[in-house]
Structure formats: C-alpha cells, structure tokens
C-alpha cells in the first residue's frame, strides 16, 4: 500500500541553533514542505534582525531549497504596533510562553493581566498576526493545561478577530474548548496521539518521552485521536519535535522534549492506517494548516509505503528519536 502526501507541514517545530540546528534542519526539510519555527532560543527571538538572521541560519543548514521556515517572534507585552507592522512580513505568528513553564521560557509572560497584554494583542489582531500559545499554568502538572482553558476563553472572547492557536494540546478539555470559540485553533503532536503518562512513568522512567505538556490520561489521548483522525478543520499537525542532546535527556533533571521530526510522517501514516483514517491524513498534516494560516507552501510530494522501517537509534550521534531502534510499519519512499 502506498500514499502520497502533498506539502506536509509541521506547525510547531524546535530547530534550535548550532549543532542541533545542523542535525535537525535537514531532517525536517527532507520530508516537510515547511514548518512553524519556535522562537525559544537563548536569548529568545524578539527582534526583526534576530528573526531574519535565524531564518538565514535555518536555510543554510536545511540544504533543501523547497523547505520554508515560517518564523515566529517570542511574545513580549512591550512590542509596539509600529514594530509589529514592520516585522509582519518576516513572521507568520507570535508565540506566547507563560514565564518558566517550559524549556527556555524564562522571559515569558508573568500572570495574565489582559490590560497589560491588550495593546499588543489588539495590534496583532488588526495586523492579522496569529497568536500561538503554550497553554499551561504553574499548577499541578496533570492539571496545568485544563487550568489554562479559562485563559484561552478570556483571550478568545476579548479578541474575537485574533486567531489563537492552542499549541500541543493534550487534554479532552482543550479539544472541547476548540468548538466553543470560532477563533480558537489547535496543534496536536505525534507523541500525544501515541502515549499517555503510563508510557512515560508507568514502568521504568522513559526520559525520551518526557515533555511539556506531560502526556495525560487515556481518555485525553482518545479525544486527541478522535480530533486528529477525523482531521477536525481547526486542528493541525505540529510535531513539537524538540531535540536535546542525549546527555541532557538521560540525566537527573532530564530536559523536556521529544524528538520526532524525522519519523513523524511514517508514524502518523501507521496510526491513521491502523484506524482506517488514511484518507484524512492529508488534511491533518497540510490542508487544515494551509487554510488556517492562509499559506501556500512550495509544492512537494512525499510518498510513503507500508513496509517495515527500522528507526535509527540516534541522529547526528547525539539525539535520540521517539521509537529509537524500533520498527514502524510505514517508510518514506520518495520526497520531492
């Protein structure tokens, strides 16, 4: 059995910098037509110069002229409307991190004072710059996303013309919130479609499956699966592929992030095939994102075939992917 995917898009990708970028960029560029690149570098991407320079570094490492890095800025409440207008052509979205909730998010938003955030959110709304949000509170780890839903609702209600993307949703609560507000959208990762907290910590601890937000309960995964498998029109694939060197994962104080980009399409094909939903995969990995973000990425066709594929133990001698050393039922035959 064979399927062809046109312009696969990854709507949430951590490409990092330097060695990680050299390893990750060519891998994403091989099978994806484009990716929304997260700005949580150290220091975060907050200026036009930094966006443009980062984009150049990505293109330099991607070694694939048909790959489009869609850039993001790290949200700051002191951006002026003039600044946003001048940077608009260089970015596709702005990513908001609550302070300290995940990797390199220390410079994020403290508290959610809508009065403080309003000027930037109004300007984004007017300029039609979507807001991508890492929606977690500082509460108990399993409840952080659910506790954040009222904040999403407040944002959605107060800024009805602002497109708000709930990034890497992990709960049934978030799936349900999607349909309550016209301007709420979501990305779903590969790993949250496959795993629950049991896979991370139910047996021997699996550091390579540890990420933020943490994987949740079986009923949460079921709700995510249902939305993805039917390619709910407000849902997009966003891998949240987040490489860390092996020594940062297999360590006390394990870094959060699962590396999935190079095996994502193969594993998605396996999952959609298993559930008899292969016909919807094109919408989940590309068409919905094209509509939501109004983008027209370069043409690319990725052909996958149902043949056993042995996942590498490591990439670039330092990053361990999800399913490392295991077998997936689908492999990429050609991409171009």
Q: Catalytic residues, which ones? A: 240
Residue from 103, 125, 183, 288 in contact with ligand NCD (CB under 6 A): 103
| Smallest separation (angstroms) from Zn ion to the CB of 38 | 5
* Residue 102 in contact with ligand NCD, rule: CB under 6 A: yes
Whether the CA torsion 57, 301, 88, 123 is positive or negative: it is negative
Q: From ligand NCD, Zn ion, none, which one binds at residue 102 (CB under 5 to 8 Å depending on kind)?
A: ligand NCD
Q: In this structure, are strands 9-13 and 184-188 parallel, antiparallel, or unpaired?
A: unpaired
Tell me whether residue 102 or residue 288 sits nearer to ligand NCD (CB atom): 102
* Residue 256 in contact with ligand NCD, rule: CB under 6 A: yes
- Closest among 288, 183, 295, 184 to 229, alpha carbons compared: 288
Residue numbers at the binding site for Zn ion (CB under 5 A): 240
Q: From Zn ion, ligand NCD, none, which one binds at residue 257 (CB under 5 to 8 Å depending on kind)?
A: ligand NCD
The phi, psi pair for 163, rounded to 5°, reads -80, 125
Tell me whether residue 142 or residue 256 sits nearer to Zn ion (CB atom): 256
User: What is d(CA 247, CA 19) in angstroms, rounded to the nearest whole number?
Assistant: 14
User: What is d(CA 104, CA 108) in angstroms, rounded to the nearest whole number?
Assistant: 9
C-beta of residue 191 within 8 angstroms of C-beta of residue 268:
no
Tell me whether residue 52 or residue 254 sits nearer to ligand NCD (CB atom): 254
Tell me whether residue 40 or residue 270 sits nearer to ligand NCD (CB atom): 40
Residues numbered 233 to 252 that lie near ligand NCD (CB under 6 A) are 240, 242
Residue from 34, 69, 130, 257 in contact with ligand NCD (CB under 6 A): 257
| Smallest separation (angstroms) from ligand NCD to the CB of 131 | 15
DSSP characters over 125-180: HHHT--EEE----SS-TTTHHHHHHHHHHHHHHH-TTS-EEETT--SHHHHHHHTT
**Residue in this structure with the two tokens 């710059």, named with its chain if needed:** 129
Residues within the interface to ligand NCD (CB under 6 A): 14, 40, 102-103, 134, 211-212, 240, 242, 256-257
């Amino acid at each position: 059995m064979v399927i062809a995917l046109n312009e696969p898009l990854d709507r949430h990708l951590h490409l990092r910098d330097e060695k990680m970028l050299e390893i990750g960029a060519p891998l994403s560029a091989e099978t994806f037509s484009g990716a929304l690149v997260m700005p949580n570098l150290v220091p975060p991407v907050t200026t036009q110069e930094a966006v443009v320079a980062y984009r150049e570094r990505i293109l330099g490492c991607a070694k694939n002229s048909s790959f489009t890095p869609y850039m993001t800025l790290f949200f700051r409440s002191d951006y002026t409307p003039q600044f946003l207008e001048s940077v608009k052509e260089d970015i596709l979205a702005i990513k908001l991190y609550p302070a300290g909730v995940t990797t390199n998010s220390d410079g994020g938003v403290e508290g959610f004072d809508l009065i403080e955030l309003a000027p930037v959110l109004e300007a984004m709304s007017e300029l039609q710059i979507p807001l991508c949000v890492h929606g977690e509170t500082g509460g108990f780890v399993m409840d952080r996303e659910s506790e954040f839903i009222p904040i999403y609702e407040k944002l959605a209600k107060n800024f009805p013309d602002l497109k708000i993307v709930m990034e890497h949703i992990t709960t049934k609560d978030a799936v349900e919130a999607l349909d309550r507000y016209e301007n709420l959208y979501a990305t779903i990762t590969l790993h949250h479609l496959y795993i629950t907290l049991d896979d991370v910590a139910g047996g021997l601890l699996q550091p390579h499956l540890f990420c933020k937000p943490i994987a949740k309960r079986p009923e949460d995964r079921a709700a995510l699966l249902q939305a993805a498998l039917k390619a709910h029109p407000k849902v997009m694939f966003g891998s949240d592929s987040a490489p860390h060197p092996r020594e940062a994962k297999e360590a006390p104080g394990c870094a959060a992030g699962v590396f999935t980009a190079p095996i994502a399409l193969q594993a998605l094909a396996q999952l959609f095939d298993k559930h008899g939903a292969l016909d919807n995969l094109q919408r989940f990995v590309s068409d919905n994102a094209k509509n939501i973000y109004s983008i027209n990425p370069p043409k690319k066709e990725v052909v996958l075939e149902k043949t056993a594929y042995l996942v590498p133990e490591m990439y670039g001698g330092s990053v361990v992917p999800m399913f490392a050393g295991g077998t997936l039922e689908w492999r990429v035959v050609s991409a171009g």
